[in-house]
Amino acid sequence: MKIVITGGAGFIGCNFVRHMLERHPESEIVVLDKLTYAGRMENLEDVLDRITFIQGDICSKDDVNRIGDCDLLFNFAAETHVDRSINDAGVFVRTDVIGTHTLLEHARTHEVGRFVQISTDEVYGSVASGYSKEGDRMQPSSPYSASKAGAEMLVAAYATTYGLDTVITRSSNNFGPYQFPEKLIPVMILRALQDRTLPIYGNGMNVRDWIYVTDNCEGVAVAGEQGRSGEAYNIGGGNERTNLEIVRTILSILKKPGSLIEYVADRPGHDMRYALDCSKMRELGWRPRHRFMDAIELTCAWYAQNRTWYAPLLATVS
């Protein structure tokens, strides 16, 4: 097979590249990445000799045309940080919506076997109780989640209008190696390693479901290869934790004092809780392999042992 992975130099993307190299060692793996601040060649250093790398923008038709035909196209390329979307929504609309449209047009006019759109549980909006199912109404709260919901609507429209073979995955909060230090877990780990204060929005009671990145990668591969055409699939870890619990766990693992916790003003439109019903994925035979505590310990150890990877990024940790 020829497998194209856009955004493959980013956090989830680079882990997915490694997963697919193991899963399909005889396949051709092509990575298209713009190499923005969060997409780094360092994330792929150990596998560059086993892939074809194209530096390009998914919003550029000329760049996208360089990927040619393929059996599977996984679109991980996106702007993903909620805080950044609040400050500059236009960048998110361009990449997440217009970029997805450019890729869909490529898939429509080329031989692309299946188009797999990587989305997020945030498209459902805040869930006070129960669990979001794939057929639930999308109610995005932030410019980021709205841009991902918009991209999903385009994917669904291309499936209906043009008969494009598509699958959408909606995963919960990922964590693990190579995550750029702007999301909660890597920021808190790196600040704790430096004995800096750990800022928590509001009262820290916002709840997220956490999934170790390699479990999500396996889920995306399973949904992309075995899922029903035109369907969406929730991929969650079943690990609901408040932000405060996450931070206290990190401090405990790194043997740092709780006095480092600092409560700060909440961000606008901060959803209270996300939670996913993943029964459709279980029907495909997928389940997460990692216990939360094992995974968070692995993650803390990875950052502690990989200073050369994160040292150039320390100025961005805020």
Strand bridging mode 240-242 / 207-212: antiparallel
3-state SS, residue 111: coil
Tokens of 141: 């709260």
Query: Contact, 111 vs 210, CB < 8 A?
Result: no
Residues 6+ apart with CB under 8 A from 195: 256, 260
Distance CA 81, CA 73 (A): 23
Residue 273, strand partner residues: 207
Distance CA 80, CA 92 (A): 8
* Catalytic annotation, residues: 121-122, 144
Distance, CA of 22 to chain centre: 20
Query: Contact, 216 vs 171, CB < 8 A?
Result: yes
3-state SS, residue 164: coil
